Chains A and B, each alone.
Chain A
C-alpha cells in the first residue's frame, strides 16, 4: 500500500512542507478532545450533531494532510474513499459517519498525532539547537547559554562549536530519514483500504452511469420532439403544397406558382431546422476538423476576442472530443451572457494521460457551480471520469479547468495559437 516516497523536492522545500504537516498534526491534537467529547455525548444520545461536526472536521483535516502528502510525492497521489454524507437527516448523517470504516482509519491517524509530531519535531529541534549553539559559539548572541552557562574564555566559546556542528549534522542527516518514516507511516494510515476504495468507486460509477443514461435519454427525447414538430411537419406541408400545385397547375397556373414558391420556403425552413439540430447533436466542423478546428471555429463566431492555444499531439477519441467541445461552447456562452468580459482564453493540452482544458475570462467573476449549464457540463464529464474546477471570485477573473482522462491517437503535432 505504502510506496517508498521519492524525495524529488529539495531539503529546503521538504522543510517548508514539514512545518505544514506539523501544523496539521497540531490541529489534529486539538481536534482529539472534541472527538472524544462527541463520542461520549453520543453514548447519551445527544451527541449526533457533534459527531457530524467533528466528523466533517476530521475528514477535512485528514484530507488536507493527504493533499500535502500528495504534494510531497506527486507520483503517488493519496486517494480518499469516504461514504458520501447524506444531505439531510441528523441520524442518517451521523450514522453514515460512524459506520464508515474510513472514519475509524482517520481516528487512528488522529490518535497518532503525538507520535507524528515527535517524528517531525526531532530533526527540527536538533537543527534549531545546533543553530543556536553555533551562533553562541561565534559570539553572535548574548553572553549566557540557555540562561545557565556563561563561558569566560574564548576557548570555552570555541569548544561549543563541536556540539553545535554535531547537532546540525545529526539534524541534517536525520531530516530525510524521519521524513521518509513519517510519509510511510502516514500514507499507511491515510490511504483507504482497497475495499473502501472500490466501494466508493462503484458508488460513483453507479451515479455517473445513471446520470449519463438520463442525459442521453433526455437528449434523444429532445431530438425526437424537434424532428416531429419541425422538419417532419414541414415536409408534410411541403408535400401538400406540391400536391395542390400539381392539381391546379393546368387551370390556375398563377396560384400554382405561389404554392411552389411557398413549397420552396418551407424546404428552406426545414433545412435550417435540421441544420441547427445537427449542430446540437454533433457539429459538422467537429467531424471535419476535430477539436482543434471546431474550437477555432467557435472562437471566430464568438462576439468577444478569444485567444485559443491548443497543444495536442493527436486526437482524443470522438466521444471525448464531443464532450470537450460542448463543454467549451457552454462555458463560452456563459462568458458572453454573464461575465461582462472583454477577452477570453481557451487553452487545451494533454498531460499525465488527461485532456486538460482551461477556459478563462477577464470578466466580473462571481460564477457558481449551481447553474444548470455548469451542472450539465459536470454530468457530461462524469461519464468520462472527468472533473471540473471553477475559480470565480467576485471581481473576477473566472477560470474553469476541465480534466478528462483519455489517450490521444495518431502522433500528429498540431501546435497552434491564434487570437480570433
Chain B
C-alpha cells in the first residue's frame, strides 16, 4: 500500500512512518506543510493519505483544506484525517462529497495499533473510519426525539459500530455476536430509520452517516 503522510511534528511523523512501514505500507512521501501535501497528493496519487488537520504555514486547518481540495481533483482519493480534537463540522465537510474513502480519527486512536491499521486499510479500500467521539455526538444529538429512540440498545450498538465504518464481520467480532445476527440488526435499523436497504458496505455506512448528519 502506498501512503502519503502529512504531520508537522517530527516525533509523530517518524512514529507514523515506522508504524505504517511495519505493516506492509510504503511511505511514498512524508510532508510537514499544506502546500507540500497538496503537491504530494496530486503527484503520487497514493492508495491512502494520513493527514494531520493542523499544518504550517497557517497552523489552522491547512491539512483538512488540502485534503478536501485534493479530493475535488481526484474524486474518492482515500484520506484519513488525524486530529487532537474532533469537530462535527469537519466530519460533515469530509463526508459531504458522498464518495467514501474518508476517515477522521483522534490521534489517540493510533495507540490501538491493530484498530488503527484496520482503519487505514478500510479507508484505502474506499470505506470510512469515523471516530467514536463523532458518532456518539451524532447519536446523542438525535436522541431525545425521532426514530432513533425506537432502536433497542443492541441496535444502537450495532448502529454506532456501523457508523464508525466497520464491516459486518468486524462488528460481529467486536460485539461477540454472529454475522447473521449483525445483518438482522442492520435490517431492523434500516427499516426503523426508513432508509433504503443496500448490500454494499460502504454505501450503507454513508447512508447512515448522512442520516445522522441530517443532510
Contacts and interface: CB of A to CB of B under 8 A. Distances in A.
Interface of A: 264, 267-268, 271-272, 275, 278-279, 284-285, 287-289, 293, 296-297, 300-303
Given A288-B61, A297-B88, A297-B89, A268 B108 contact: yes
B22 interface: no
Contacts of A285: 85, 87, 89
B54 A271 contact: no
B130 to A, nearest CB: 14
B60 interface: yes
A402 to B, nearest CB: 22
B214 to A, nearest CB: 8
Main secondary structure of the interface of A (DSSP, over half): helix
Given A271-B108, A278-B85, A296-B89, A301 B60 contact: no
A300 B92 contact: yes
Contacts of A279: 85
B184 interface: no
Interface stretch (B1-9, B139-147, B156-164): B139-147
A272 B53 CA distance: 18
Contact of B60 (A268, A287, A296, A302): A287
24 contacts: A264-B111, A264-B112, A267-B108, A267-B111, A268-B111, A271-B84, A272-B108, A275-B84, A278-B84, A285-B87, A285-B89, A287-B60, A288-B53, A288-B60, A289-B60, A297-B88, A297-B89, A300-B87, A300-B92, A301-B88, A301-B137, A301-B141, A303-B140, A303-B144
B54 A284 contact: yes
Contacts of B87: 285, 297, 300
A199 B111 CA distance: 60
A91 B89 CA distance: 58
- Most A CB within 10 A of own CB, among B84, B89, B112: B89
Given A300-B92, A303-B144, A284 B108 contact: no
Nearest to B60: A288
B25 to A, nearest CB: 22
Interface size, B (range): 20 to 34
B211 interface: no
Given A301-B141, A303-B141, A275 B85 contact: yes
Contacts of B60: 287-289
Given A287-B59, A288-B60, A300 B89 contact: yes
Contacts of A289: 60-61, 89
A194 B214 CA distance: 57
A284 B92 CA distance: 17
A287 B59 CA distance: 8
- Most B CB within 10 A of own CB, among A267, A271, A285, A296: A285
7 nearest A-B pairs in the assembled complex, by CB-CB distance? A300-B88, A297-B89, A288-B61, A288-B60, A297-B87, A284-B85, A264-B111
Contact of A303 (B54, B61, B112, B143): B143
A60 B107 CA distance: 59
Contacts of A297: 87-89
A417 to B, nearest CB: 15
Contacts of A272: 108
Contacts of B111: 264, 267-268
Interface in B56-105: 59-61, 84-85, 87-89, 92
A215 B61 CA distance: 30
Contacts of B143: 303
A400 B31 CA distance: 46
B200 to A, nearest CB: 27
A387 B89 CA distance: 30
Nearest to A265: B111
Interface string B109-122: 00110000000000
Nearest to A283: B85
B209 to A, nearest CB: 14
Nearest to B89: A297
A267 B107 CA distance: 12
Contacts of A296: 89
A323 B59 CA distance: 21
A279 B59 CA distance: 17
